[in-house]
Amino acid sequence: MSSEEKHKITRREFIRKGMQLSILIGLGSIAGGLITKTISEKTVWQLDTKKCTQCGRCATSCIKKPSAVKCFHAYDMCGYCDLCGGYFRPGTKDLTTAAENQLCPTSALKRKFIEEPFFEYEIDKELCIGCGKCVKGCGAFGNGSLQLQVSQDLCDNCNDCSIARDCPSNAFSRVLNSESYLMLGLRDSNKWKNKI
Ligand code: SF4
Ligand code: SF4
Ligand code: SF4
């Protein structure tokens, strides 16, 4: 083998080792990034809507007044019913927006006519106190599209959440922030998340 050929092999070897090293560095930084993300991503309080029995403590036990727990509407699941069990008091004769017909104690649930016989329901977060009355009503007569959840923009993310301590159903737990609002059993939770 001539010295020129030896030189070529050495050079080729050098490039190959260099490429291997850069692949290793690349993989290392991806793994490092994932570890850092997992470690640094904060956790938040969420309630499991399947465990919640709407006992009322979400309204009274939160350190925030009104509570950081609010009613959310899972639009994908809603039947847009005229006779909404979450909106009307049981036994209401007139299906109108009159305050005496409404189940919500603060009139936080708004009703908008879409087309016969469909109505859309929206929650005014500033008025909602998280009592869960509408959630119970919707679950009893509808398909459970009204649900209580910790509103992350309002929650102080207390280390020791006073609702978690008081909840009789043990429905509160900490989840990764990126996984919040994912406990509603929706077909497309991201679409719903954008409506918050
Ligand atoms: S305290 Fe627990 S059971 Fe009661 S409303 Fe809140 S999450 Fe539901
Ligand atoms: S009934 Fe209670 S939980 Fe439902 S919207 Fe009104 S205040 Fe909020
Ligand atoms: S973490 Fe604090 S602010 Fe958030 S829901 Fe619990 S008690 Fe309320």
162-193 pLDDT, tens digit per residue, is 999 999 999 999 999 888 886 665 545 555 55
User: Which residues constitute the domain of residue 16?
Assistant: 1-40
Would you state the pLDDT for residue 91?
Answer: 87
Tell whether 49 and 108 lie within a shared domain: yes
**Mean pLDDT, the chain, whole residue set:** 83
Would you state the pLDDT for residue 53?
Answer: 97
Tell whether 33 and 47 lie within a shared domain: no
Portion of the chain with pLDDT greater than 70, in percent: 72
Q: Does 155 score more than 80 pLDDT?
A: yes
Distance CA 178, CA 41 (A): 8
Tell whether 114 and 93 lie within a shared domain: yes
In the chain, what are the helix, strand and coil shares in percent, each to the nearest 5? Answer: 35, 20, 45
Tell whether 29 and 70 lie within a shared domain: no
Question: Which of 49, 54, 149 should be mutated for ligand 1, with most atoms under 8 A from CB?
Answer: 54
Overall average pLDDT of the 151-161 stretch: 96
Tell whether 13 and 89 lie within a shared domain: no
Question: Which of 60, 122, 134, 154 should be mutated for ligand 2, with most atoms under 8 A from CB?
Answer: 134
Distance CA 86, CA 138 (A): 4
Tell whether 5 and 66 lie within a shared domain: no
105 preceded by a cis bond (ω within 30 of 0): no
Our answer on whether the CB atom of 136 is closer than 6 Å to any ligand 1 atom is: no
Question: Which of 151, 157, 160, 174 should be mutated for ligand 3, with most atoms under 8 A from CB?
Answer: 157
Tell whether 131 and 73 lie within a shared domain: yes
Most confident stretch, 39-48, 76-85, 174-183: 76-85
Tell whether 116 and 184 lie within a shared domain: yes
Domains contained in the chain, number: 2
Would you state the pLDDT for residue 77?
Answer: 86
Our answer on whether the CB atom of 144 is closer than 6 Å to any ligand 2 atom is: no
Residues 75 and 114: beta-carbon distance below 8 Å:
no
Would you state the pLDDT for residue 57?
Answer: 98
Ligand nearest to the CA of 48: 1
Tell whether 88 and 179 lie within a shared domain: yes
Tell whether 94 and 187 lie within a shared domain: yes
Which residue puts its alpha carbon closest to atom 7 of ligand 2? 128
Would you state the pLDDT for residue 80?
Answer: 93
Would you place residue 125 in the very low, low, confident or very high pLDDT band (cuts 50, 70, 90)?
A: very high
Q: How far is the CA of 195 from the centre of ligand 3 (A)?
A: 22
Query: How is residue 60 written in tokens?
Result: 């009274």
Would you state the pLDDT for residue 111?
Answer: 93
Tell whether 15 and 61 lie within a shared domain: no
